Amino acid sequence: MSSRTPFIAGNWKMHKTVAEAEQFIAGLLPRVYSADAVDVAICVPFTALQAMVDSTRGSRVEVFAQTMHEAAKGAFTGEVSAPMLSELDVHGVVLGHSERRQYFGETDKALAQKVLVALDAGLKPILCVGETEDERERGDTERKLRHQVQEGLERLSPEQITEITIAYEPIWAIGTGKVATPEQAQDAVAFVRALIKDKAPEAAPVARVLYGGSVSPDNAAELLALPDVDGALVGGASLDPESFGKIVDAAVHIAAS
């Protein structure tokens, strides 16, 4: 792991009622109480945002939304805007998760605007990028990552790029139990950092790049120890405070070593 502060973010997807979220956070807070060297976030459904913001106030756990619309307001039934999230004291937002791209038609063009709007509203964006299994087999991983990173950062100034987190999430590894090998993860994350450097050399040493895709307490230490990996975006294993806490612990140990 690098000198950047490690960042472990749990993406709950469409899981947990408010009551279940409260139960989770009661279990997590004592586990991460002394994880000073690590930034921790939970990315929760809209319905649990307010409750989680209230229950984590004063703790080291930040609360992120899982998506947002790029417009501030308007006739977009079912959508939520950046000012609506900021008003709740939400800290950040996941943008371009592969499930949003695949099932809800989220485009690179819209994402370029969303990243800008999130930063303008004081929200920390986690921009997700990654290739399908077919793309990897065809040797198209770098082409795909180049396209997604360049489009995602297109509208940002170099100063804004320093504030962004990119999560490299190979789509074939999300929710499949099929984790990338350390070599695959390191190569792709280093490539993403090189793309950041092309666009904003001063941002490359600062912007964080995470790995996501079937991270678990069993494989976290190995992945988090990779030189370019600054943390993890965790899906399934973030639903249980014990397993999520163990992943945070792995980051704490590596940061201390």
Tokens (6 digits) for 231: 């943390």
| 233 touches ligand PEP (CB under 6 A) | yes
Local structure of residue 94 (DSSP, 8 states): E
Task: Print the binding letters for residues 156-175 with ligand PEP: x by CB under 6 A, - otherwise.
Answer: -------------x----xx
Quote the least distance from Cβ 105 to ligand PEP, whole Å. 18
Segment near ligand PEP (CB under 6 A), from 15-23, 33-41, 75-83, 233-241? 233-241
Instruction: Name the CA dihedral angle for 52, 223, 254, 194, rounded to a multiple of 10 degrees.
Output: -90
Is 222 assigned a catalytic role? Answer: no
Per-residue HEC secondary structure of 154-222 comes to CCCCHHHHCCCEEEECCHHHCCCCCCCCHHHHHHHHHHHHHHHHHHCCCCCCCCEEEEECCCCCCCHHH
Of residues 97, 99, 131, 135, which has the active-site annotation? 97
| Residue whose CB is less far from ligand PEP, 235 or 245 | 235
Which span (117-125, 135-143, 207-215, 245-253) binds ligand PEP, by CB under 6 A? 207-215
Place of tokens 């947002």: 68
91 a catalytic residue: no
- 73 and 117 Cβ atoms separated by less than 8 Å: no
Say whether residue 213 binds ligand PEP (CB under 6 A).
Answer: yes
List residues near ligand PEP by CB under 6 A: 11, 13, 97, 169, 174-175, 212-215, 233-237
